[in-house]
Chains A and B, each alone.
Chain A
């Protein structure tokens, strides 16, 4: 038998897709012909796309989801090896510039079926309710066109769909329902955070995580292996790959792996007609009644801009001129120190304890907020951190690495302000598919820098109070990407409406982190999935009322039998 390399040949083909829960197993998959206009073709399979694919397929729509990445089998394909697992990151050519050029890859983008949720740190937090109206209530950024109470409903749905393991009661903000699973045991690194918070007189809690603290179906509970951010090999991690996508397949959706979408076509009526995609060595065209773009905040605007045509010379869905604008990362600075006792922070999920104190306390001299969490860097990452921050190499690096088991750190996920100068544009260079590559321009503003300074100073005190020595600050990291196709109430000042529907092209939808008007100080994955669930419900309602282009009203529910 030939070696089955998921990066070499598509796995989801011939009427079947990999069964992520059984070694070598397959699940039946319905397949559609390129010429057959499907109700929805979805670009991507990550937090936004996978969730939406599942919910739309369960409503009876015909759905094809395309992903440039491979269809991995977590039980077989994931090694306890940092280098090997770089296969999960999107490391295609990109140009980065601005005052603070972003480091692309591990911390902010994935290339796999399931998207970057396959290697995300599983931190599943809700926005602070006020952030949905941050312009009106807090005086910065932009208001969301969605009410927080509606989001609270969808957060609960996603938390249940992922069986989030969280604390029995959450110390901050509006009441939320109990997390479906209980929190994991804290590791020593998390206890360092807790000790620091107690000393500083602020609250802390166990981080709500999308990894199982008890069995669920065929997924095993977490074994605290610690390689979470390089891909979970036990399926404890509730990534899109093992949650929404199996449901989507069971409901008749088709997933095409190793399928890079290069262009969206529009017809003479100005509506989208389908997507051009590259798979198995050739360009193909999938016809569709609706197109959903969910490639995350770099690939989404890149695809919209690359789809420019005579009718839409500045890129499609771009009458506002905002496609690619307002790119927001999250600041990801850290303080590190050495503890007297062994910490072995790599044991268990990396961020087991959290404080959201500075997300909910407004007594500060900057806009926005930040959360900080305990850390568990794997050894290679830690060596890289030492190299990057201190220029250590050779003997000095070896000596520093001997303290690895004693290192504890605190790292923020901090809000950055939306700025139009931070943007994704197209460079002239092309990638392996012949598509123009993105140029990513990013600069921190004064408010962003104030927030970072505040966090480093506070975390330094907390770490010191917890008993750490040799404390130093890592000042250069960022994570997560959002906001290059923002949603809003006004077609002139936003790309999509509250339903993630393009103002310009009514059968084009954008459903990922790109639609965020602001990012808040929490990891975005839960919010992306909640928005996808909301979008699915809105599509359902609009379809029933006959308000969707090219979709007849009240479509009968299909019988869910995968075709051979």
Chain B
């Protein structure tokens, strides 16, 4: 009974997400909008900054997708792909990475249908994956005990592909929005920059929670393990300020995001060191990469921070955004 209800919950989250995504595909065109948004001849007047911000968001989404592709690849291989659904994040994050590369190179100020669909799919995958991971932990003996939180499927991990999808999807909305003199670019009728700032702020906190749990499992045996649970929450606070604040320069937030970009990549270095401390080190890489700390996980922070930088640029150029 417990299993069934958990499975229903997971299916419910997935179905809800799909419905939401589909409904977003047919927004009621506002009166002041030009409906033929993919008609290049009808291209709205964009500031080049908006497209640049959108491309940066594509790049950030791509980095997050790369992290997910490698991380879920390693971890699901470790789980022997016991359930066929475990291939899903690999396929989806692979596709997200490809279209993010495409988006990063794409200078056109219009959304792209394939990118749109893929990003939406990534977001849905994140939600469904989270449901699956909750199901996996909840059905174990002891339920949501520390033992199962530590060693069951990581609850927060699928959120990274959700964030990648959200950021990518936002990028597409940004490209197709038509800022006029009164207002800056918008996403879902909300100021684009501020909405993104909120998403990134929450994303940073979620990713911090994941790192906090798994580093607690490792008993914070190395002081450096405190970095990803202390620096990102400050970043989240700064992004929250970007979201609600009145100032536009956001020098501190900008510098902090660069710090987080660096921290994310440095994290992989630390994790490589962690792997080397297992019996046999890298000479026994085929076992130790699976046994040691996840090599590809920390750059999720870099991906989010890059998105933060794009978002800050957007707010700087369009103070109302």
Contact = CB atoms under 8 A, between A and B. Distances in A.
14 contacts: A167-B146, A168-B146, A181-B219, A182-B216, A182-B217, A183-B146, A183-B147, A194-B142, A198-B141, A213-B217, A220-B278, A221-B277, A223-B278, A223-B287
Nearest to B273: A215
A215 B274 contact: yes
A212 to B, nearest CB: 9
Contact of A182 (B141, B142, B219, B279): B219
B147 A186 contact: yes
B218 interface: yes
B265 interface: no
Nearest to A179: B219
A221 B141 CA distance: 25
B141 A195 contact: yes
A172 B242 CA distance: 49
A214 interface: yes
Contact of B221 (A181, A198, A234): A181
B221 A214 contact: yes
Interface string A146-170: 0000000000000000010001100
Given A198-B141, A214-B221, A182 B150 contact: yes
B21 to A, nearest CB: 36
A283 B216 CA distance: 53
Given A216-B221, A221-B278, A223-B287, 11 more contacts: A167-B146, A167-B147, A185-B147, A194-B142, A213-B217, A214-B218, A215-B221, A215-B274, A220-B277, A220-B278, A223-B278
B278 A206 contact: no
Interface of A: 163, 167-168, 180-183, 185-186, 191, 194-195, 198, 206, 213-216, 220-221, 223, 234
Nearest to A185: B151
Nearest to B152: A185
A168 B213 CA distance: 12
Contacts of B287: 223
A214 B141 contact: no
A223 B281 CA distance: 12
B15 interface: no
B216 to A, nearest CB: 7
Interface string B110-151: 000000000000000000000000000000011000110011
B291 interface: yes
Nearest to B151: A185
Interface in B189-218: 216-218
B47 to A, nearest CB: 50
Contacts, number: 50
Nearest to B287: A223
A195 B278 CA distance: 32
Nearest 4 pairs between A and B by C-beta?
A215-B277, A185-B151, A220-B279, A214-B221
Contact of B219 (A180, A185, A234): A180
Interface in B262-308: 274, 277-279, 287, 291
Contacts of B150: 182-183, 185
Contacts of A213: 217-219
Contacts of B219: 163, 180-182, 213-214
Nearest to A167: B146
B147 A223 contact: no
Contact of B141 (A191, A216, A234): A191
B286 to A, nearest CB: 13
Contacts of B277: 215, 220-221
Given A168-B146, A181-B219, A181-B221, A194 B141 contact: yes
Interface in B144-162: 146-147, 150-151
A336 B216 CA distance: 35
A195 B146 CA distance: 17
A168 B149 CA distance: 12
A185 B147 CA distance: 7
Nearest to B142: A194
Nearest to A169: B146
Contacts of B146: 167-168, 182-183
A182 B218 contact: yes
Contacts of A214: 217-219, 221
Contacts of B278: 215, 220-221, 223
Contacts of A234: 279
A182 B214 CA distance: 10
A181 B216 CA distance: 9
A183 to B, nearest CB: 6
Contacts of B279: 220, 223, 234
Nearest to A186: B147
A203 to B, nearest CB: 11
Nearest to A234: B279
B182 to A, nearest CB: 55
Q: Name the residue among A186, A195, A214 with the largest chain B CB count within 10 angstroms.
A: A214
Contacts of B221: 181, 214-216
Nearest to A353: B147
A459 to B, nearest CB: 18
Contacts of B216: 182
Nearest to B284: A223
A213 B279 CA distance: 13
Contacts of A183: 146-147, 150
A223 B288 CA distance: 9
A182 B218 CA distance: 7
Given A180-B219, A182-B218, A223 B291 contact: yes
Nearest to A183: B147
A352 to B, nearest CB: 10
Interface string B67-96: 000000000000000000000000000000
Contacts of A180: 219
Nearest to A233: B279
Nearest to B280: A220
A167 B219 CA distance: 12
A185 B146 CA distance: 10
Contacts of B291: 221, 223
Interface in B239-281: 274, 277-279
A220 B277 CA distance: 6
A194 B142 CA distance: 8
Given A221-B278, A223-B278, A206 B147 contact: yes
Nearest to A75: B279
A181 B147 CA distance: 13
Nearest to A225: B279
